Amino acid sequence: CGPAQHPQEHIKDVVMDRIQPYIKDKQFRPEHVKSLSSALVGLCQWVLALEKFYRVFKIVQPQKEMLAAAEKEFEEASTMLSAKKQQLAEVSQRLETLE
């Protein structure tokens, strides 16, 4: 049950709430647990990295969503601009034929 089965983007807040006591525990650090077990060192490193990723993700995700919305709005505006340019070209061409 490692990182491959749990994509970080789908970590639930309740899971992070449950691991907070371990994160806050100064003994739950790789350098403190290395004398106990190498597997525990790996688990400790993974949990700490997961928590760090989660904190950053909570900041970045809303910004990614705003960027996606802005890109969609830009695409719609670009499409409308292209249509208006086409209309202008058609009107300009008609004016030239009238002159």
Q: How far apart (Å, rounded) are the C-alpha atoms in residues 31 and 51?
A: 18
Give the model's pLDDT for residue 44: 95
CA-wise closest residue to 47 among 84, 2, 97: 2
pLDDT tens readout for residues 59-97: 999 999 999 999 999 999 999 999 999 999 999 999 999
Helices and strands in the chain: count of H runs, count of E runs: 3, 0
The reported pTM is: 0.65
